[in-house]
């Protein structure tokens, strides 16, 4: 499979470690993996101008870093959403990248998805998980696994090994 990981963290720390572990496992299983660091990209929110559904014919009127993410959505057999928890939700950067899929409707090939969340405290991921489940259901993708690491669990080798195993089984 062609797997695209959208890393919504601006830092190269906890979420990045989860993404790397997932990529390692998936590559070992023979998949092609690309990590897109959307947390460091310039991606504005959707303007709801409907240019994409009219004159734009699927193209967004905003020419920012989302162009690269749209190309990845089009290519993907699987999308992995990864994010730090910011106030009980995914980061604003990942949220924008999730919502700006609007211009193409649905990723044309993606049938699977996964979610990687890093938080400071346990019990803060319900909102992000609910959004993810609704979103992938809407986009016609099947959940292939959710992993949440909180506090001390972050960067723990045994936890990263679990993510590698999860990705190996895809
Ligand atoms: C703006 C902001 C909001 C945060 N909100 C929460 C939160 O609601 N719940 C929580 O457990 N941790 C929260 N955190 C902590 C991060 O989720 C946590 O440190 C995470 O491991 C960071 O991942 P990263 O290293 O990939 O950036 C917040 C951090 C920031 C910067």
Q: Where are the alpha helices (DSSP H) in 29-84?
A: 66-75
Report whether residue 14 contacts ligand 1, using a CB cutoff of 6 Å: yes
Q: What is the pLDDT of residue 10?
A: 98
What's the predicted TM-score (pTM) here?
A: 0.98
Q: Give the model's confidence band at 101: pLDDT under 50 very low, under 70 low, under 90 confident, else very high.
A: very high
How would CATH label the architecture of 2-168? 3-Layer(aba) Sandwich (3.40)
- Is the distance from the beta carbon of residue 124 to the nearest atom of ligand 1 less than 6 Å? yes
pLDDT digits (tens, 9 = 90+) for 63-92: 999 999 999 999 999 999 999 999 999 999
CB 76 within 8 A of CB 107: yes
Domain range summary for the chain, segments of one domain joined by + = 2-168
Q: Which of 21, 120, 126, 156 to mutate to test the pocket of ligand 1 (most atoms within 8 A of CB)?
A: 120
Query: Could you give the C-alpha distances from 21 to 60, 64, 148, in angstroms and in order?
Result: 33, 29, 13
């Amino acid at each position: 499979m062609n797997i695209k990981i959208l890393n919504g963290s601006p830092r190269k720390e906890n979420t990045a470690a989860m993404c790397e572990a997932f990529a390692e496992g998936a590559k070992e299983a023979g998949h092609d993996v690309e990590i897109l660091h959307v947390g460091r990209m310039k991606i504005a929110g959707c303007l709801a101008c409907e240019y994409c559904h009219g004159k734009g014919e699927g193209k967004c009127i905003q020419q920012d870093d989302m162009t690269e993410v749209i190309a990845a959505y089009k290519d993907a057999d699987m999308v992995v959403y990864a994010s730090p928890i910011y106030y009980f939700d995914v980061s604003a950067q990942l949220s924008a990248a999730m919502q700006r899929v609007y211009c193409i409707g649905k990723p044309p090939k993606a049938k699977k998805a996964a979610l990687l969340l890093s938080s400071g405290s346990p019990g803060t991921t319900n909102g992000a998980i609910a959004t993810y489940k609704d979103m992938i259901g809407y986009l016609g993708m099947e959940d292939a696994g959710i992993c949440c690491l909180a506090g001390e669990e972050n960067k723990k080798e045994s936890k990263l090994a679990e993510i590698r195993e999860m990705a190996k089984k895809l």
